[in-house]
Amino acid sequence: MINISNVKKAYSDEVKIGPLNIDIPKAGLTSLIGPNGAGKSTTLLMIGRLLHMDEGQIKVANWDVSESKSEDLAKVLTILRQENHFVTRLTVRQLVGFGRFPYSKGRLTKKDEAIISK
């Protein structure tokens, strides 16, 4: 579950988002829909801690996004952007393997390898 409480984001002292209050359930499919500039991408960036929020709190699986260690947060949150600017080309196998990094520290187990091979 993702819980967003009283989150605000301002640019040049002008509040552009918020106060935002959203509860996204653990199961199901949730969509953020709105016109360009409505704050959809900004909200997702704040959830993923890729953009600092100015006020409020975001929790992912009870982990406070602004206070949690990256190592802990990475076990419950993964971000795969539509446009990635990787210098190298990755295979799907390598990309899926990266998802195991919080658990394996870069050394995939035999079980990881078997699952990725499927």
Q: What is the CATH number of domain 2-66?
A: 3.40.50.300
Residue 12 pLDDT: 87
Query: Closest Cα partner for 71 from 105, 97, 114?
Result: 105
Query: Closest Cα partner for 58 from 11, 23, 30?
Result: 23
Confidence of residue 13 (pLDDT cuts 50, 70, 90): confident
Residue 66 pLDDT: 93
Tokens of 108: 């995939």
* Whole-prediction pTM: 0.73
Query: What are the structural domain ranges in the chain?
Result: 2-66, 80-118
| Total length of the chain | 118
Helix, strand, coil distribution of the chain in percent, nearest 5: 25, 25, 50
